[in-house]
Amino acid sequence: MQEATPTQTDTLQKDSLAVGRSVTFTKTVAESDIYLFGGISGDLGPNHCDEEYMKKTRYGRRIAHGVLIIGFMSTCSTKIIELAGNQPTVSYGYDKVRFVRPVFINDTISVTYTVASRDETQGKIWSDVVAKNQHGDVVAVATHILRQV
């Protein structure tokens, strides 16, 4: 199931990307997600598509593409912009991306995206992004930068 829900909206104005505003996106990673993403990106490497190969590694099974999890992070940035009234805003990039733990097929990943700081003169907004699996283990983190245009 996919969902994006605000986690702090009662005191924030709809047209503001205020510090502290947060959204969460949750999705279970299916085998089809791995193959579809691999086909789109061209990354059909053995880490993602060869079960026998991965059985010989410390992971013991196939893992999802890290960039797929960044895609979930991007979904959160879209949702937070929507909550702010679709202000003209673009992604300025991701900093400090780390894939802390592997994501396996059938893991349910929840990404929480929280506005951490703003620079009004530059029109930039920095957000802390944390992805966790169904066990509450952090699997990926990043800082995302939005730029108002």
pTM greater than the 0.85 cutoff: yes
pLDDT for position 16? 65
Asked if residue 25 lies in contact with residue 75, where contact means CB atoms within 8 angstroms, the answer is yes
CATH architecture of 3-148: Roll (3.10)
Asked if residue 25 lies in contact with residue 82, where contact means CB atoms within 8 angstroms, the answer is no
Phi, psi dihedrals of residue 76, rounded to the nearest 5°: -65, -40
pLDDT for position 4? 55
pLDDT for position 148? 87
Find the DSSP H helices in the chain.
31-41, 46-49, 51-55, 66-83
pLDDT for position 9? 38
pLDDT for position 149? 87
Phi, psi dihedrals of residue 52, rounded to the nearest 5°: -65, -40
pLDDT for position 142? 98
Structure tokens belonging to residue 107: 């893991």
Mean pLDDT by 10 residues, the chain (149 residues): 48 60 96 97 96 97 98 95 86 96 98 94 94 98 95
Give the residue from 27, 26, 8, 28 showing the smallest Cα distance to 18: 8
Rounded to whole angstroms, the Cα distance separating 70 from 57 reads: 24
